[in-house]
């Protein structure tokens, strides 16, 4: 016997589809699972991303959703994706498979405005950041263990200290967690949550130590001083910032003397540059310089709207004909975000890219944990993109997308809900979504 909707108790919804709270929570859990998976797996991230979108659809109020897309932080990622799609039309001498492949790295940016919309309403954004911190902490423990005993490395193609993926992605994950946790620890101290602050500072030390003594990319070694300066300026006064930077300089000097790995990573830059200039020898430094030199030449050939989506690899293939050494290297990624965009979409693409970065920086100009996490993600991405195309890379790109989208939603939630109100004492009330977890 089948019950009619009228026979159901009043507290039971006649349609599961209308249970917005349940769908919203399911969508939140899917994003949490994305964050947990990101340091370990690419396929799981894709699976949970699809699940998130499916769970999200019943919760969308389309008029408000379309209105939210007009904000610069939402519109600029959409515009960059639209440019990538349009760019397939003027990549006339590039195969369609390469053109469509060129759209794929940009597609993840579509998630930013949707995440902002979702977490502006959800209130569970902090779940995702705690989950990502916990997952990276586990990865960091495994990294230390495999470094201490290489016999524990379960994939012999990996180097000790890098149990999954690669050292560049791992370094970016650890740096993001270190500085995000450092900001949270300072806020914890101010709220007198001493145990939580101590735990967070302990994690910060372990993440930084791992990058100094175990393995790190040279890109992250450039990011750390910039993030440190932003951290000092954001969380301390003028004298406090100067004192913290002085302490950091002292710690850096100790790390330099104590870590052969750190010295080798930096000293090798000069050796690799010399081998490139004198012997046309392929190396990390030499290849980057060669990629940049060729990319600038490609941009000069089509400066306004570029060579079209997916053109980069074909251009490198044609230029490598008859060459030897590092000049014969073929790449679809010039290892610089600006050049990667400029080769395909010219000055127009660079304007959109920089407008996106600026709109996201502006979004996180305020106080609070969400604003700090978002700021770390944007600053780290801008700096690291001098040496890599990290928006288009999988792990680094998804760190940016998740952090900007979720933190952006949290910040927008605070602003739109009017949570800063005056008490009788005049003390601001900070939104629960932006406070430290209990």
Q: Residue holding tokens 């288009």? A: 392
Q: Residue holding tokens 């309403």? A: 121
Ramachandran category for residue 161: left, alpha or beta (phi over 0 → left; psi -120 to 50 → alpha): left
Residue 21 counted as domain residue: no
Residue 2 counted as domain residue: no
Residue 27 counted as domain residue: no
| This prediction's pTM | 0.87
Residue 3 counted as domain residue: no
CA atoms within 13 A on the CB side of 156: 1
Query: Is the pLDDT score of 79 beyond 60?
Result: yes
Residue 93 counted as domain residue: yes
Q: How far apart are CA 3 and CA 17, in angstroms?
A: 17
Query: Is the pLDDT score of 147 beyond 70?
Result: yes
Q: How far apart are CA 14 and CA 320, in angstroms?
A: 65
Q: Give the residue ranges of DSSP H helices in 259-336.
A: 260-279, 284-301, 312-320
Per-residue pLDDT, averaged over 408-412, amounts to: 93
Query: Is the pLDDT score of 246 beyond 80?
Result: no
What are the distances in angstroms from CA 77 to CA 35, 164, 211, 275, 341?
21, 29, 31, 40, 13
Range of the domain at 118: 32-434
Higher pLDDT among residues 102 and 245, named by residue? 102
Q: Residue holding tokens 């195969």? A: 95
Residue 76 counted as domain residue: yes
pLDDT score for 160: 87
Q: pLDDT tens digit string along 1-48? A: 444 444 444 454 445 567 788 899 999 999 999 999 999 999 999 999
Residue 343 counted as domain residue: yes
Residue 9 counted as domain residue: no
Do the beta carbons of residue 368 and residue 405 sit within 8 Å?
Answer: no
Q: How many helices (H) and strands (E) does the chain have?
A: 17, 0
Instruction: Give the percent of the chain with pLDDT over 90.
Output: 59
Structure tokens at 345: 């979409």
Q: Residue holding tokens 């030897």? A: 324
How many domains does one find in the chain? 1
């Amino acid at each position: 016997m089948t019950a009619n909707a009228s026979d159901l108790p009043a507290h039971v919804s006649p349609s599961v589809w209308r249970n917005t709270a349940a769908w919203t929570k399911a969508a939140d859990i899917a994003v949490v699972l994305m964050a947990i998976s990101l340091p370990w797996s690419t396929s799981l991230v894709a699976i949970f991303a699809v699940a998130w979108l499916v769970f999200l659809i019943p919760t969308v109020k389309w008029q408000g959703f379309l209105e939210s897309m007009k904000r610069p932080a939402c519109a600029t990622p959409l515009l960059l994706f639209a440019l990538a799609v349009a760019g397939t039309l003027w990549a006339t001498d590039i195969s369609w498979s390469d053109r469509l492949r060129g759209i794929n790295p940009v597609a993840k940016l579509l998630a930013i405005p949707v995440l902002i919309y979702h977490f502006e309403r959800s209130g569970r954004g902090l779940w995702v950041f705690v989950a990502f911190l916990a997952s990276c902490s586990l990865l960091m423990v495994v990294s230390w263990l495999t470094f201490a005993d290489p016999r524990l490395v379960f994939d012999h193609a990996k180097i000790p200290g890098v149990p999954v993926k690669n050292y560049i992605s791992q370094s970016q994950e650890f740096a993001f967690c270190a500085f995000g946790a450092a900001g949270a620890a300072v806020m914890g101290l101010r709220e007198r949550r001493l145990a939580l602050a101590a735990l967070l500072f302990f994690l910060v030390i372990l993440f930084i130590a791992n990058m100094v003594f175990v393995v790190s990319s040279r890109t992250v070694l450039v990011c750390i001083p910039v993030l440190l300066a932003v951290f000092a300026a954001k969380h301390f006064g003028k004298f406090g910032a100067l004192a913290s930077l002085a302490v950091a300089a002292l710690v850096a000097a100790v790390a330099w003397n104590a870590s052969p790995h750190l010295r080798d990573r930096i000293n090798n830059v000069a050796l690799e540059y010399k081998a490139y200039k004198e012997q046309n020898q392929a190396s990390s430094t030499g290849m980057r310089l060669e990629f940049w030199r060729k990319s600038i030449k490609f941009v000069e050939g089509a400066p306004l709207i570029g060579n079209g989506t997916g053109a980069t690899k074909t251009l490198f293939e044609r230029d490598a004909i008859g060459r030897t050494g590092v000049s014969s290297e073929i790449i679809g990624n010039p290892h610089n975000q600006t050049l990667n965009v400029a080769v395909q979409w010219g000055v127009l693409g660079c304007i959109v890219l920089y407008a996106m970065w600026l709109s996201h920086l502006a979004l996180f100009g305020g106080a609070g944990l969400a604003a700090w996490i978002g700021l770390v993600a944007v600053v780290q991405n801008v700096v690291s993109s001098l040496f890599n195309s990290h928006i288009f890379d999988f792990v680094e790109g998804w760190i940016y997308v998740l952090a900007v989208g979720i933190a952006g939603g949290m910040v927008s939630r605070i602003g739109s809900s009017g949570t800063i109100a005056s008490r009788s004492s005049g003390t601001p009330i900070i939104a629960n979504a932006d406070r430290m977890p209990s």
